[in-house]
């Protein structure tokens, strides 16, 4: 039986509603993980579409207690200057071998904290990340691809890739679950029918 894992999801105001559902639901339903919301000061935050997220934890190093992984969810708020510094939180998790992932603008606090130093990674595009961070450690390892990139326990993805982000993140957290992950991949891909099938459907 797969040991229970605990994942902290980091949200700030105007977080992207579409970026975390594949990961959070799959982690709970497929792997029996525990998930918890983490926000600045442990206060409620509001999503881009207006939904309220209530948190159980803040964003300090002590809030990482018992967590095996962190997922930083995108928000245009991460592009501002006065955003929370997650360095201590990251170190508390990654320092003990935990998984740290960011999607969309959630990759920015990872870059600021130096998590991409020596690591392959991606974000919302080479130009996009350069516009927000002119320089950061590991910049030369950027990969301009439309899907998630995993390098060890560090996961990154553009905001348009929540499915591959979920797969890469769970693959790092559950390295022995290749068969389950392949089933998930097939389910996620099923709606994207081939051009030939689309043509047949509309003929």
Going residue by residue through the chain, which has 203 residues, state the pLDDT in tens, using 9 for 90 and above.
Answer: 567 999 999 999 999 999 999 999 999 999 999 999 999 999 999 999 999 999 999 999 999 999 999 999 999 999 998 999 999 999 999 999 999 999 999 999 999 999 999 999 999 999 999 999 999 999 999 999 999 999 999 999 999 999 999 999 999 999 999 999 999 999 998 887 665 556 555 54
Fold of 6-176: Rossmann fold (3.40.50)
What pLDDT is attached to residue 184?
A: 93
Cα distance between residue 122 and residue 115, in whole Å: 12
Cα distance between residue 96 and residue 11, in whole Å: 22
Phi, psi dihedrals of residue 185, rounded to the nearest 5°: -60, -45
| CA trace torsion 54, 90, 146, 173 (10° rounding) | -90
Residue (of 107, 123, 105) closest to 115 by Cα position: 107
What pLDDT is attached to residue 194?
A: 62
What pLDDT is attached to residue 192?
A: 78
Whether 155 contacts 99, CB under 8 Å: yes
pTM of this structure:
0.94
């Amino acid at each position: 039986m797969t040991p229970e894992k605990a994942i902290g999801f980091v949200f700030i105001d105007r977080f992207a509603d579409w970026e975390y559902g594949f990961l959070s639901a799959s982690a709970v339903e497929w792997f029996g993980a525990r998930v918890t919301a983490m926000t600045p000061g442990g206060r409620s935050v509001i999503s881009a579409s207006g939904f309220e997220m209530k948190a159980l934890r803040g964003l300090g190093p002590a809030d990482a207690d018992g967590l095996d992984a962190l997922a930083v969810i995108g928000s245009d708020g991460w592009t501002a200057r006065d955003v929370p510094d997650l360095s201590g939180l990251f170190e508390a998790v990654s320092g003990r071998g935990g998984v740290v992932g960011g999607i969309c603008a959630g990759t920015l606090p990872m870059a600021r904290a130096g998590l991409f130093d020596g690591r392959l990674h991606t974000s919302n595009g080479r130009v996009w990340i350069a516009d927000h961070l002119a320089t950061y450690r590991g910049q030369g390892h950027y990969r301009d691809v439309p899907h998630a990139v995993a390098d060890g326990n560090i996961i990154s993805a553009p905001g348009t890739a929540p499915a591959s982000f979920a797969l890469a993140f769970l693959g790092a957290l559950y390295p022995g679950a290749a068969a389950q992950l392949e089933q998930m991949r097939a389910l996620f891909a099923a709606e994207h029918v081939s051009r030939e099938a689309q043509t047949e459907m509309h003929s």
